[in-house]
Every structure is written in structure tokens, then in C-alpha cells.
């Protein structure tokens, strides 16, 4: 017997996520994006800052997506968030919504496509983009209770000022821990006390392989250079690192961790 269509938007979200085959972290990121659009469909602004993490999205009937006003509400939400949200983040959230809408329509739960006509936002030209995080924002970020891997990545990006791609490409044997720098054969990076405190905890005896790893065992097709010989996990990707940061940092991006002048003491 077929499961009856869900009545509530939140239930439809959970069924979509359950069927999408996502890992726990990705499921959390997708849920945050879809919850964000619930505020828009309720014609209410998305809470900002710490309030967003504490707020519960409004309870909505799934049928609201078929209402003629749904498309206008989504367009209004995009316009509201355009000024304060990185366009990559907003585009990723729009893509998540479109994927869910397509899945729901394929099952006959809704008929309309309220996201029709919403186009991806243009990305900033190289060398431009959102301003670096302020000292206050950094203190709040570093005070979050997040996994050690994220703590290390965020600190290292801020203290070194290096591009995200450079940090994610680091291997354990690139690091000169006593001198808080990389070896001469690696990209030149230095770091400060925050990163120096976290690195030994993060490495836990590892002597080779990528510095930053995924949560799961690497697929068999993963190149040896991108697989840890101790844990057999893969190198953390930029996409996954960006998703996790955006979920915790209220729409900011990893590139905003690079200091404007001097890193936070």
C-alpha cells in the first residue's frame, strides 16, 4: 500500500531527505536550506545570526506550494537575502529547493513549481566579494561547539591567510609543527597559537595522508594521494567544507575567514 502524501511541508522535507541518500552532515545542510524557504513561504523574514540556529521554522501545509502567491513569496525572500547572503550560498539553497520540488512533483504531491523563473545569482568577479569577518564575528564563530576538524580548518584559514584550496591540499607530512609552519617543499604557510593548539589533537598520531579528512571511508576509486593510510578516509573536499561552514556561520563563506589585516589574537 502506497504511503499517503504528506500534509505538512516539514514532513515532505523529511521524506525527501530520507530518500536522497545523503550523509548525516549533508542531510543537515539540506534541511537548513529547506527550512530557510519555509520562512519565505510563510512570508516572514529568515532569522539572522544565532537566532536562526535556535528558531523553529513555521508549520506550513505542503499545499501552500501550489498557491499562486508562493512564487512571489520566494522571489521576495531572494530579494531580501540578496544583500546579506553570499551568492554562492543563496544559489546552493535555491538548488536544494529545486531538487526537492522536482522530487515532490514527480510523486504528485504538488503540481506547481513556485521556483520557476528564479535564476541563479551572478557570482562576484575575482578579487571582489563579501568583506572578511569582523573580530566579533570571529570570536562568536570560534566559540561554537563544532567538531575538531572544523575548528582546525577555520583557525588555520584565518591565521595563515591562505586560500581554501591550498589548506585543503595539505598533507600531514607538510607540517613543521614545532616551528608553526610548513616544510620548504610544501606551499609556504605559517600559523599561530590557536592552530598550534589544535593540530596535535587533530592528528592523533597520524604521520601521513591528507591533513583534513572526510567522515567516511574513501571509495575504492580514490587516488592514494587523497586517502589516509591510517584511517582509509578521503581528503575533505572544498564543497563539503563550504557546506559545513555555511551551515554553522549563518551564510558566510570560508573565504571570509581570510584576515583583512591582522588575524585575531
- pLDDT given for residue 262 in this prediction: 47
Question: Could you tell me if 95 and 197 lie in one domain?
Answer: no
What is the per-residue burial (b if ≥16 Cβ within 10 Å, else e) of 146-156? beebbbbbbbb
Task: Give the span between the Cα atoms of 42 and 57, in whole angstroms.
Answer: 9
Give pLDDT tens digits for 1-25: 467 889 999 999 999 999 988 776 6
Distance, CA of 156 to CA of 130 (rounded, Å) = 19
Whether residues 49 and 102 fall in one domain: yes
Domain that holds residue 40: 9-106
Q: Is residue 262 part of a domain?
A: no
**145, 88: one domain:** no
Residue 159 placed within a domain:
yes
Residue 102 sits in the same domain as residue 175:
no
% of the chain surpassing 70 pLDDT: 89
pTM of the predicted model as reported, rounded to 2 decimal places: 0.56
**pLDDT tens sequence across 76-113:** 888 877 766 777 778 888 999 999 999 999 999 999 99
Number of domains in the chain: 2
Amino acid at each position: 500500500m502506497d504511503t499517503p502524501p504528506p500534509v505538512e511541508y516539514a514532513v515532505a522535507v523529511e521524506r525527501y531527505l530520507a530518500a536522497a541518500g545523503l550523509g548525516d552532515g549533508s542531510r543537515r545542510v539540506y534541511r537548513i536550506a529547506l527550512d530557510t524557504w519555509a520562512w519565505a513561504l510563510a512570508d516572514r523574514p529568515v532569522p539572522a545570526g544565532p537566532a536562526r540556529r535556535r528558531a523553529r521554522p513555521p508549520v506550513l501545509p505542503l499545499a501552500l506550494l501550489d498557491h499562486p502567491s508562493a512564487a512571489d513569496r520566494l522571489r521576495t525572500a531572494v530579494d531580501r537575502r540578496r544583500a546579506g547572503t553570499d551568492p554562492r550560498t543563496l544559489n546552493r539553497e535555491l538548488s536544494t529547493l529545486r531538487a526537492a520540488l522536482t522530487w515532490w512533483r514527480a510523486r504528485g504531491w504538488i503540481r506547481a513549481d513556485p521556483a520557476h523563473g528564479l535564476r541563479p545569482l551572478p557570482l562576484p568577479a575575482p578579487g571582489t566579494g563579501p568583506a572578511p569577518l569582523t573580530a566579533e564575528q570571529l570570536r562568536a564563530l570560534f566559540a561554537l561547539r563544532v567538531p575538531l576538524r572544523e575548528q582546525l580548518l577555520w583557525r588555520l584559514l584565518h591565521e595563515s591567510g591562505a586560500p581554501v584550496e591550498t589548506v585543503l591540499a595539505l598533507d600531514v607530512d607538510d607540517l613543521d609543527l614545532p616551528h608553526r609552519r610548513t616544510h620548504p617543499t610544501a606551499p609556504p604557510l605559517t600559523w599561530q597559537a590557536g592552530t598550534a593548539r589544535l593540530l596535535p589533537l587533530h592528528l592523533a598520531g597520524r604521520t601521513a595522508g591528507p591533513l583534513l579528512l572526510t567522515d567516511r571511508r574513501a571509495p575504492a576509486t580514490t587516488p592514494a594521494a587523497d586517502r589516509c593510510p591510517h584511517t582509509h578516509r578521503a581528503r575533505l573536499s572544498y564543497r563539503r567544507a563550504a557546506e559545513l561552514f555555511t551551515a554553522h556561520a549563518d551564510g558566510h563563506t570560508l573565504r571570509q575567514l581570510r584576515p583583512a589585516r591582522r588575524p585575531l589574537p
